[in-house]
């Protein structure tokens, strides 16, 4: 088996413990996005990208209590060469939004995986994932009294239990303008418009303004 096949098998077991917002289907969609983005790029390390996609949520602090391993440990277990493993870990490290405090990109691989993951956070699937995660965490659907935070630390972003609709304003609506690759930017446009339409319809149905 290749590194990719082994990694897919190992991570599928881990993601089976996550809620529907970050399950193995999420990984497959991000991989699909990454493959679409890589069509425009000739020099990207595809093996590093694919490994990073499979591993990018393993170290997510939101699921630390159910994982029991780390991306680095999986790479070591699979005997991935040190140089490749380091590129994978660096790529993963640059993916997270972190309340707008994402780390600086240092590689094309990081740009591909970041855009691919963020595309799955917006559009119809992004809406579904937002409410799936909110439901798993017992969050309110919406709260028009909540203040939208324009600036926040990573701790603020992760520790405050805001409603699902507030999450649109604090993260999802920002992602379109944070895309790096040309393909990512193009794909984000339609998904962004759909989310805006959804919130507009939600305001119509609830009689509220978010």
Give the per-residue SS3 of 21-82.
HHCHHHHHHHHHHHHHHHCCCCCCCHHHHHHHHHHCCCCCHHHHHHHCCCHHHHHHHCCCCH
CATH node for 3-206:
1.10.3210.50
What does the pLDDT look like over 71-125, one tens digit per residue?
Answer: 999 999 999 999 999 999 999 998 988 655 667 888 999 999 999 999 999 999 9
- pLDDT tens string 42-54: 799 999 999 999 9
Judge whether 88 and 52 are in contact, CB under 8 Å: yes
Half-sphere exposure of 78 (CA within 13 A, CB side): 24
Look at 67-81, 99-113, 134-148, 177-191 and tell me which has the smallest mean pLDDT. Answer: 99-113
Residue (of 60, 110, 64, 120) closest to 90 by Cα position = 110
For residue 101, the model assigns a pLDDT of: 61
Place of tokens 């972003």: 157
Contact yes or no for 104/90 (Cβ under 8 A): no
């Amino acid at each position: 088996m290749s590194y990719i096949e082994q990694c897919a098998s190992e991570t599928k077991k881990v993601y089976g413990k996550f809620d529907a917002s970050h399950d193995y289907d999420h990984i497959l969609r991000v991989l699909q996005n990454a493959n679409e983005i890589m069509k425009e790029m000739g020099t990207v390390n595809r093996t590093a990208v694919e490994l990073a996609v499979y591993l990018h949520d393993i170290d997510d602090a939101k699921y630390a209590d159910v994982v029991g391993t780390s991306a680095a440990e999986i790479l070591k277990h699979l005997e991935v060469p040190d140089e490749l493993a380091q590129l994978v870990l660096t790529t993963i490290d640059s993916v997270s939004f972190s309340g707008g405090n994402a780390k600086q990109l240092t590689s094309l691989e990081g740009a591909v995986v970041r855009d691919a993951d963020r595309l799955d956070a917006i559009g119809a699937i992004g809406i579904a994932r937002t409410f799936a995660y909110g439901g798993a965490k017992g969050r309110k659907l919406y709260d028009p009294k909540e203040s939208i935070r324009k600036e926040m630390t990573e701790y603020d972003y992760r520790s405050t239990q805001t409603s699902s609709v507030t999450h649109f304003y604090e993260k999802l609506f920002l992602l379109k303008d944070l895309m790096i690759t040309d393909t990512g930017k193009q794909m984000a446009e339609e998904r962004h418009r759909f989310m805006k339409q959804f919130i507009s319809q939600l305001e119509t149905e609830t009689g509220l303004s978010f």
